[in-house]
């Protein structure tokens, strides 16, 4: 099977490599040439949007947000214009569920099926092929494409019709953001109270407060490591989609609104490109301490 892959960023690049390792033929496209050349060295084939649409049975995208997905797929000389009826499009980007449904409706007019399949796990899990997929779309299309997703992820769950995958991802991003904020707040409290936050982490990680978020982010906070596995600016984008969706359906999201303000503060103070664990820096600025220092 020949797969087209558009969007070779922090997540897309290792995910495309995992498809190659699984034995798929992968044609790649990216705005900049460097990542395409890196994938070519691993066996991928750099290609234009038109070439991907004309030659690939399945097309995958991993892009920043709804406008980029629309432009790449439906814009002037977009991929969809070259796809054949019966082809499948899988969008692994995290976008507004409303946009997913609109794109799917346009593609259906061309005879192209769509799954929305956003991921969770960040760069480390993208590299080792253990991301979690939340998938929306027709069950028969999901079943047909599941092996492709399993080549990149450890968990692949069908959540409902198109848009359900991105709705699940929005829920995921609420929980992740609020967990990171709570973790930063708790470790700051510990240090201000004169207790080593590293020891607090060790003491509570095995109890009810323990979580995958804590295991991934506490060491980063305590060591001052802000290298992005998932950038503040990308989480801001996701939370903006959460708030838009919540307002449209009437769901209360006060905790999301609170952590959004913290992330916006970090963005305004030069932290947009840092990992979302940099929420700890917000608390350091308020408290006058350096975690672990």
Catalytic residue positions, numbered: 169
How is residue 158 written in tokens? 């069908």
How is residue 102 written in tokens? 């609109």
User: Strand, helix or coil at 47?
Assistant: coil
Sequence-distant (≥ 6) Cβ neighbours of residue 189 within 8 angstroms: none
d(CA 172, CA 174): 5
In this structure, are residues 153 and 119 in contact, taking their beta carbons and an 8 Å threshold? yes
d(CA 130, CA 74): 30
Of the candidates 278, 201, 263, 269, which has an alpha carbon nearest to the alpha carbon of residue 233?
263
d(CA 277, CA 291): 12
Sequence-distant (≥ 6) Cβ neighbours of residue 33 within 8 angstroms: 46
In this structure, are residues 118 and 104 in contact, taking their beta carbons and an 8 Å threshold? no
d(CA 139, CA 257): 34
Question: Scanning the structure block, which residue is given the tokens 């939340």?
Answer: 134
In this structure, are residues 140 and 206 in contact, taking their beta carbons and an 8 Å threshold? no
Of the candidates 94, 95, 142, which has an alpha carbon nearest to the alpha carbon of residue 119?
94
User: Strand, helix or coil at 270?
Assistant: coil
């Amino acid at each position: 099977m020949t797969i087209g892959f558009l969007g070779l960023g922090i997540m897309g690049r290792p995910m495309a490599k995992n498809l190659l390792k699984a034995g798929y033929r992968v044609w790649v496209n990216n705005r900049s040439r460097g990542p395409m050349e890196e994938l070519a060295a691993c066996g991928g084939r750099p290609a234009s949007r038109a070439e991907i649409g004309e030659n690939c049975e399945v097309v995958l995208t991993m892009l920043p947000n709804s406008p980029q997905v629309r432009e790449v797929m439906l814009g002037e000389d977009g991929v969809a214009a070259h796809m054949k009826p019966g082809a499948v499009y899988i969008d692994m980007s995290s976008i507004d569920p409303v946009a997913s449904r609109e794109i799917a409706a346009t593609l259906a007019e061309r005879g192209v099926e769509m799954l929305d399949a956003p991921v969770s796990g960040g760069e480390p899990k993208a590299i080792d092929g253990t991301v979690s997929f939340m998938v929306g779309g027709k069950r028969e299309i999901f079943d047909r494409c599941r092996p492709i997703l399993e080549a990149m992820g450890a968990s692949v769950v069908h959540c409902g019709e198109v848009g359900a995958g991105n709705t699940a991802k929005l829920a995921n991003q609420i929980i992740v953001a609020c967990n990171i904020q709570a973790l930063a707040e708790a470790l700051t409290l510990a240090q201000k109270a004169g207790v080593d936050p590293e020891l607090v982490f060790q003491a509570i990680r095995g109890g009810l407060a323990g979580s995958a978020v804590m295991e991934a982010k506490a060491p980063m906070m305590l060591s001052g490591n802000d290298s992005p596995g998932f950038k503040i600016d990308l989480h801001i984008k996701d939370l903006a989609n959460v708030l838009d969706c919540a307002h449209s359906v009437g769901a209360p999201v006060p905790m999301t609104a609170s952590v959004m303000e913290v992330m916006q503060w970090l963005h305004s103070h030069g932290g947009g490109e840092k990992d979302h664990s940099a929420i700890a820096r917000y608390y350091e600025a308020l408290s006058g301490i350096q975690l672990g220092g």
